[in-house]
Structure 1
């Protein structure tokens, strides 16, 4: 079993990623990535997930528990730039983030308040699969007739509950990235 630092270094080299590029894709500071590469520290679960996703591999492969050929995405070709919007101003993009996405339309929304607790906190980036409405889960919604501000709600029956509350569903939240400062 190889070390986490060796596996991280190999995955970055395989994709020709620098520490700065990996930092941008994951939101993890360059100093933390440097410490991971030196073997000084191993990442917490949330950062390990972000690293695996940005590198198109699995947490197990990075930790040395499985072959990196067993990637959950098959290749890094599924990693795309996704536009980022503020939940307060969903019409003007702020920039882009990398995400492992399938076919379809996606957006990141940045939560700008603490009204969505306990699931979502100020500053979280929420990856939303636009127009996806499925089973129970966390959804991005807009209150009908009251501007364009995006809220995040958990529903057990999304279509029925959203209609009862006069909410329009934008899409299903498929990932939450908590930005560590």
Structure 2
């Protein structure tokens, strides 16, 4: 039987992506016959990954498989870092680099986040973010380093051919707002 022990070792594994500053974080799980324990967030350990202060926490639930939410962002100076995790179900989580000076401008990275794989995306400021549900009844939690600023809100159309996100499923649902975001 495994026991739960504290240790000075990090409970997070950093997985780099092809987009500068965009990270996948894998949380270590310690388990036994009862289930598991996983450190979800630690200011000290995750500050080096791009988020240390939490100003806001949001929770979403999407019922339909194949639904797309996004691609949302906040404009500077209110652009924000987000730490996104899936608590129930599975999603294809996507971030798009909107930094014009970046060598990866308008490139995207997608990652399956699920309740089972204990992965999160650490999305830096000036990236658009969205996801497609791969199962029914998906719940996500977002930790933001800045509070929501309505006047700074923006979006990019998730179906924009210039970005060409390879969504894994046919689009089952999108909000009218997300559908009406501009093409680039």
Q: TM-score, normalization: structure 2?
A: 0.27
Of structures 1 and 2, the one scoring higher in RCO (CA 8 A, sep 6+) is: 2
Q: Which has the higher helix share?
A: 1
TM-score, normalised by the number of residues in structure 1: 0.28
**When you count strand as a share of all residues, which structure comes out higher?**
2
